[in-house]
Amino acid sequence: MPSRRDDQPLGVAMVGYAFMGKAHSNAWRNVGSYFDVPAFEQKVLVGRDAAGVKEAAAKYGWAETATDWRTVIERDDIHIVDICAPGWLHAEIATAALEAGKHVLLEKPLANTLAEAESMTAAAQAARAHGVQSMVGFNYRRVPALALAKELIAEGRLGVIRHVRAAYLQDWLADETAPMTWRLKKESAGSGALGDIASHAIDQVMFLLGDSVREVSGRTHTFTTSRPGAAGPEEVTVDDAAWATLSLASGAIASVEVSRVATGQKNSLKLEIYGDKGAILFDLENLNELGFLDATAPVREQGFRRILVNEPEHPYLEAWWPQGHIIGWEHTFTHEIRDFLLAIDGGTQPSPSFEDGLAVQRVLAAIEESSAAKGSIINVAPATTETASNYTALSETVPTEGA
């Protein structure tokens, strides 16, 4: 790993400046204002369009711009590479950055293919041996209500988890005249709703339960098979929706449903977790709230109660506003970068790791395989000890007060 003076701020370069780039830039700009983190500088924003990236850098607070990420990762003053580029670029950029000794934050899903994910994880493991850290951006782990849900589950408040329902529904492709984008082509996106939003749902199932997936039965479907392109209709080569049943190592069963054509659903990630002693409900469109039922209470007192997750005692919230002043989706990225910076500073592996991303990728690949085999049950390779430990690590590191 290239040496850095103790008094030298961490130099950050970010690749990509569209939707995710904007979200990450907002977090980089604000994290130091609310959390005590190591000093860093937003040095370089990288994009293929020189004029576009220059305009974005001026808005988002980046000091410089570049159009070639390869030259940027060679620089001695760059210590962190934040990758917000489309999926087909993940493997090449992340691997090169890790080999250059740069800490890597990479947007989910880890890769477009299982083979890429395995190769990237091997690169991350090799880099980690030299003190170079890497992390996958499953930002919903940093929703305070979901971090609280994990704490409650880990404390045994739900007892033995029996089954989980996870549904991530959007409607931005419900209109069949919506134009073609890179997200609708397998060569650029890897998959459709499956990799885009099922990856979040699957990660939450494993993260919240501290569990792993052993068997999968699934189906994918494309409702609109062509979209208007620049030169006429173009074939859609990814799924619009996916469904899966997951059998977990603990014996719990999870159902996962995702869609980008669910009319009226804007960005609804709903989670229902049922144990023999209690249950939890969550909806991302009400991300400051958690529904909790204590089934050990007398029957006459039972019922779901609404927890407004906005107290200083709740994960991450000591750093923000007075009680009752809610936070939003964008704060999850600030929390993510806070944890990433502290892990780098402490020389510890941030979570979720590339191994965690690989575990999700294995489930995604198994769902595709099952769908091709008309719903056959597919075995998923068991997680390594290291991967399993990473899925439980965050409950020990989530702050209950400002860092």
Question: Could you read off the pLDDT of 348-389 as tens digits, one per residue?
Answer: 999 999 999 999 999 999 999 999 999 999 999 875 544 433
How far apart CA 84 and CA 62 sit, in angstroms, is: 15
Same domain for 132 and 192, yes or no, is: no
Q: What is the pLDDT of residue 17?
A: 97
How far apart CA 146 and CA 208 sit, in angstroms, is: 8
Q: In what order do the strands lie in the sheet with 289-294?
A: 305-308, 289-294, 278-283, 268-275, 161-169, 253-259, 241-248, 213-221, 378-379
Q: Which two tokens stand for residue 296?
A: 């050990």
Mean pLDDT of 304-309: 97
Question: Using N-to-C axis directions, what is the helix angle for 114-128 and 90-99, rounded to 10°?
Answer: 10
Residue 265 phi/psi, 5-degree rounding, is: -95, 120
Render pLDDT for 30-64 as a digit per residue (tens, 0 to 9). Answer: 999 999 999 999 999 999 999 999 999 999 999 99
Domain count, the chain: 2
Same domain for 175 and 310, yes or no, is: yes
Q: Residue 281 sits in a domain of what CATH number? A: 3.30.360.10
Same domain for 228 and 370, yes or no, is: yes
Q: What is the pLDDT of residue 52?
A: 97
Count of alpha carbons within 13 Å of 63, Cβ hemisphere only? 9
Question: Does residue 175 contact residue 240 with C-beta atoms inside 8 Å?
Answer: no
Which run of H or of E encompasses 203? helix 199-209
Question: Does the pLDDT value for residue 396 go beyond 50?
Answer: no
Q: Residue 72 sits in a domain of what CATH number? A: 3.40.50.720
Q: What is the pLDDT of residue 206?
A: 98
Render pLDDT for 324-333 as a digit per residue (tens, 0 to 9). Answer: 999 999 999 9
Q: What is the pLDDT of residue 7?
A: 73
Q: What is the pLDDT of residue 399?
A: 38
Question: Does the pLDDT value for residue 398 go beyond 70?
Answer: no
For residue 195, the 8-state DSSP code is I
Q: Which residues make beta-bridge pairs with 233? A: 228
Q: What is the pLDDT of residue 382?
A: 74
Query: Among residues 100, 84, 88, 182, which one has the least CA distance to residue 136?
Result: 84
Does 335 reside within a domain?
A: no
Mean pLDDT of 168-194: 96
Same domain for 163 and 112, yes or no, is: no
* The domain boundary residue, chosen from 99, 119, 139: 139
Q: Which two tokens stand for residue 106?
A: 């990479």
Burial of 272 (0-12, 13-18, 19+ CB in 10 A): middle
Same domain for 196 and 213, yes or no, is: yes
Q: What is the pLDDT of residue 303?
A: 96
Question: Does the pLDDT value for residue 74 go beyond 70?
Answer: yes
Query: Among residues 249, 243, 196, which one has the least CA distance to residue 19?
Result: 196
Mean pLDDT of 259-280: 98
Same domain for 241 and 268, yes or no, is: yes
Q: What is the pLDDT of residue 401?
A: 34
How far apart CA 276 and CA 296 sit, in angstroms, is: 9
Does 343 reside within a domain?
A: no
Rg (CA), the chain: 21
Q: What is the pLDDT of residue 383?
A: 58
Same domain for 68 and 204, yes or no, is: no
Q: What is the pLDDT of residue 5?
A: 64
Instruction: Say whether 347 sits in a helix, a strand or coil.
Output: coil
Q: What percent of the chain has pLDDT over 90?
A: 92
* The domain boundary residue, chosen from 113, 139, 165: 139
Question: Does residue 177 contact residue 234 with C-beta atoms inside 8 Å?
Answer: no
Q: What is the pLDDT of residue 223?
A: 98
Mean pLDDT of 99-104: 98
How far apart CA 227 and CA 145 sit, in angstroms, is: 38
Question: Does residue 31 contact residue 338 with C-beta atoms inside 8 Å?
Answer: yes
Q: Which two tokens stand for residue 177?
A: 């005249």
Does 334 reside within a domain?
A: no
Which run of H or of E encompasses 336? helix 331-346
Same domain for 32 and 87, yes or no, is: yes
Q: Which pTM was predicted?
A: 0.93
Same domain for 214 and 360, yes or no, is: yes
Residue located via tokens 């074939």 = 235
* The domain boundary residue, chosen from 114, 139, 164: 139
Q: What is the pLDDT of residue 3?
A: 59
Q: How far is CA 156 from CA 44, 114, 152, 256, 306, in A?
A: 45, 34, 7, 23, 19
Same domain for 358 and 375, yes or no, is: yes
60: domain range?
Answer: 10-139
Residue 9 CB coordination number (10 Å): 14
Does 344 reside within a domain?
A: no
Question: Does the pLDDT value for residue 391 go beyond 70?
Answer: no
Render pLDDT for 198-247 as a digit per residue (tens, 0 to 9). Answer: 999 999 999 999 999 999 999 999 999 999 999 999 999 999 999 999 99
Q: What angle do CA 198, 200, 203 make, to 5 degrees?
A: 105
Q: What is the pLDDT of residue 394?
A: 35
Same domain for 242 and 381, yes or no, is: yes
Question: Does the pLDDT value for residue 114 go beyond 90?
Answer: yes
The total number of residues written for the chain in this structure: 403
Same domain for 197 and 121, yes or no, is: no
